[in-house]
């Protein structure tokens, strides 16, 4: 009990009143080295090849939205802070920060001498222009609703950024670590966002060498990076593998060094192969059934409840996730979040589901079409399992599998019943305001619940921990009871790499990879 209070007190103090306390802190629990006997110092040099299965669609850091894009944004760009694997913000371009008494205003002090890859020094004016670009609706940034209730941003001088909020918001330093909140030159933004899609204007640890959409991305070490001695690698290459079998074979043949994401069905086989390290991270990531409330039959809560009662959730963990996860009970907030509650677990009750369908006007059952993207493949596997589980209750589910590009263009935020996939966020506010409030940029349920909105926005403005805890508890209860989503399980994040890849970091958010700290031990392939 005392250790938890100490952790909370330290985190709150560091978040609000002094990032400098965290400069030397390192979250090492999710790094990999081959046992404590391996005490070698990081070696400079070498290139790491990383296989990915999702296509990068943009180099604009404000608009990136999948894991390969997040990795690229982190390598090429820097923000004011970085959020560590423990969800604590640490200095990046900002060397420290402070807040006023009610956390309605924050001042960030920038490091002097941080330079962009193309030469100019990073200034507070750049940070102000970049954050304003994220907040601009025309940018269509996924970070717009996730960087906090910002009222104004100004540069007090060349190295001081002052952010005024429209109320108290103690989590602002965490939100400044959002993957969209990268700093680019104000002069480049004056030329338009498209300029960022055509070149390299970052100050991150790596600079762009080559980008071939739907094939590869290459970056090389930036010798002027503001963290002395880093990065260690000469370069990083991302290679797209649409075929999962070919991706696994490439790792086994040492053609690649890291698999960014491993298919659950392949994890044990890869982990048991000599020279390969399988990595497993418990997270709040989930697949979800999107049940649009403006679409029949899911406009009736009894139909949504009946669907939830059809699920053998542990069975889905075993069948779909190969055991690499935990049952969830329709709460988008997992136990890894600070204010998680365990509330109203729906029981597996096929007969009860039948009765609810009959009450909703479907005594003979109901036919629905469920759309699943091909990426990740778990979506289709969940769809097939759901089809079989729900049949006995009267759901006749036609599972339709579509290419991911088609899903993004034609199904996401448009379809009435489909399988979504979401990474964990560093705090409850970001999950709710990204997906579930009425003005969320990725809202896809047509819930539009004004009471829920009011609760979420009140929670973000209070600094009283007990009050905030109860507000977030009520928001979770509303999600679970009204079921805009059915969340059947939380997924473990699985990745794999060759055993010569040192200090590769697993992050529960899957938006930060710390390739600047990764290095290659002896025995790694020599690549130009």
Check residue 111 and give its pLDDT.
98
Distances (CA, A) of 216 to 49, 51, 68, 209: 10, 9, 11, 11
Cβ atoms within 10 Å of 87's Cβ, excluding its own: 21
Helices (H), ranges, 272-368: 301-309, 313-320, 350-359
Q: If residue 75 lies in a helix (H) or strand (E), which one and from where to where?
A: helix 67-76
Residues in contact with 374: Cβ distance below 8 Å, sequence separation at least 6, in sequence order: 380, 401, 402, 403, 404, 407
Q: Token pair for residue 403?
A: 């290419």
Distances (CA, A) of 54 to 243, 244, 269, 372, 482: 11, 11, 22, 16, 32
Burial of 57 (0-12, 13-18, 19+ CB in 10 A): middle
Q: Token pair for residue 522?
A: 């002896």
Check residue 510 and give its pLDDT.
85
Check residue 514 and give its pLDDT.
96
pTM of the predicted protein model: 0.82
Cβ atoms within 10 Å of 349's Cβ, excluding its own: 15
Residues in contact with 57: Cβ distance below 8 Å, sequence separation at least 6, in sequence order: 66, 69, 213
Q: Are 411 and 403 in contact (CB under 8 A)?
A: no
Crossing angle for the helix pair 313-320 and 378-391, to the nearest 10 degrees: 140
Distances (CA, A) of 461 to 103, 429, 456, 524: 9, 10, 9, 50
Check residue 33 and give its pLDDT.
77
Distances (CA, A) of 308 to 203, 324, 424, 481: 47, 21, 22, 11
Q: Are 31 and 503 in contact (CB under 8 A)?
A: yes
Report d(CA 462, CA 288) in Å as an integer.
30
Q: Token pair for residue 45?
A: 């040099």
Distances (CA, A) of 138 to 90, 135, 503: 30, 9, 39
Angle made by CA atoms 378, 510, 382, in degrees to the nearest 5: 15
Check residue 125 and give its pLDDT.
98
State CA 428 to chain mean position distance. Answer: 13
Report d(CA 91, CA 203) in Å as an integer.
14
State CA 188 to chain mean position distance. Answer: 27
- Grouping H, G, I as helix, E, B as strand and the rest as coil, residue 121 is strand
Angle made by CA atoms 306, 310, 314, in degrees to the nearest 5: 140
Q: Are 315 and 489 in contact (CB under 8 A)?
A: no
Check residue 85 and give its pLDDT.
87
Over the range 477-502, which residues count as b (16 or more CB within 10 Å of their CB) and which as e? ebbbebbbbbbbbbbbbbbbbbebbb
Q: Are 45 and 520 in contact (CB under 8 A)?
A: yes
Report d(CA 99, CA 483) in Å as an integer.
37
Residue 73 phi, psi (nearest 5): -60, -40
Residue from 487, 503, 504, 486 nearest 495 by CA: 504
**Total count of residues recorded for the chain:** 528
Q: What is the mean pLDDT of each run of 10 residues along the chain (528 residues)?
A: 32 48 38 67 96 93 94 98 91 97 96 98 98 96 90 98 94 95 98 93 98 93 97 98 93 97 93 96 95 97 98 97 97 94 95 98 98 93 97 98 95 97 91 94 95 95 91 98 97 95 91 95 86
State CA 416 to chain mean position distance. Answer: 24
Residue 501 pairs in a beta bridge with 520
């Amino acid at each position: 009990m005392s250790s938890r209070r100490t952790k909370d007190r330290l985190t709150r103090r560091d978040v609000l009143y002094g990032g400098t306390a965290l400069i030397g802190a390192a979250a090492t629990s999710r790094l990999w080295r081959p046992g404590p006997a391996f005490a070698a110092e990081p070696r400079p040099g070498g290139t790491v090849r990383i296989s990915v299965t999702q296509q990068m669609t943009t180099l604009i850091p404000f608009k990136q939205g999948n894991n390969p894009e997040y990795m690229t944004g982190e390598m090429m760009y820097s923000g004011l802070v970085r959020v560590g694997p423990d969800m604590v913000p640490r200095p990046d371009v900002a060397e420290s920060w402070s807040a006023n008494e009610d956390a309605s205003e924050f001042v960030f002090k920038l490091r002097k001498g941080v330079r962009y890859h193309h030469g100019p020094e990073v200034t507070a004016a750049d940070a102000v222009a970049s954050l304003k670009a994220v907040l601009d609706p025309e940018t269509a940034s996924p970070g717009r609703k996730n960087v906090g209730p910002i009222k104004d941003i100004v540069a007090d001088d060349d190295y001081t950024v002052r952010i005024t909020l429209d109320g108290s918001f103690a989590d602002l330093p965490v939100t400044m670590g959002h993957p969209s909140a990268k700093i680019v030159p104000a002069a480049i933004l004056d030329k338009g966002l498209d300029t960022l899609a055509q070149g390299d204007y970052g100050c991150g640890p790596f600079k762009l060498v080559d980008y071939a959409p739907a094939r590869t991305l290459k970056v090389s070490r930036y010798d002027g990076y503001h963290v002395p001695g880093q990065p260690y690698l000469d370069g990083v290459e991302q290679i797209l593998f649409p075929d999962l079998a070919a991706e696994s074979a490439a790792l086994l043949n040492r053609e690649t060094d890291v698999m960014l994401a491993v298919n659950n069905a392949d994890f044990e086989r890869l982990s048991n192969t000599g020279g390969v390290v399988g990595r497993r991270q418990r997270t709040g990531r989930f697949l979800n059934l999107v049940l649009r409330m403006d679409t029949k039959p899911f406009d009736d809560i009894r139909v949504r409840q009946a669907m939830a009662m059809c699920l053998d959730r542990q069975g889905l963990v075993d069948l779909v996730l190969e055991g690499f996860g935990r049952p969830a009970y329709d709460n988008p907030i997992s136990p890894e979040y600070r204010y998680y509650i365990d509330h109203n677990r729906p029981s597996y009750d096929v007969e009860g589901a039948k009765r609810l369908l009959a009450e909703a006007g479907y005594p003979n059952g109901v036919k629905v079409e469920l759309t699943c993207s091909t990426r990740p493949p778990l979506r289709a596997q969940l769809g097939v399992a759901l089809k079989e589980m729900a049949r006995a209750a009267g759901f006749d589910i036609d599972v339709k599998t579509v290419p991911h590009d088609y899903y993004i263009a034609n199904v996401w935020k448009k379809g009435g019943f489909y399988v979504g996939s979401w990474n964990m966020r560093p705090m409850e506010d970001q999950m709710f305001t990204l997906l579930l409030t009425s003005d969320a940029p990725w809202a896809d349920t047509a819930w539009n619940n004004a009471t829920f909105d009011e609760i979420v926005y009140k929670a973000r403005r209070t600094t009283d921990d007990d009050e905030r805890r109860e507000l977030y508890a009520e928001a979770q209860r509303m999600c679970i009871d009204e079921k805009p989503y059915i969340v059947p399980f939380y997924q473990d994040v699985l990745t794999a790499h060759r055993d010569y890849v040192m200090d590769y970091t697993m992050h529960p958010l899957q938006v930060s990879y710390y390739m600047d700290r990764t290095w290659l031990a002896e025995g790694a392939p020599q690549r130009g």
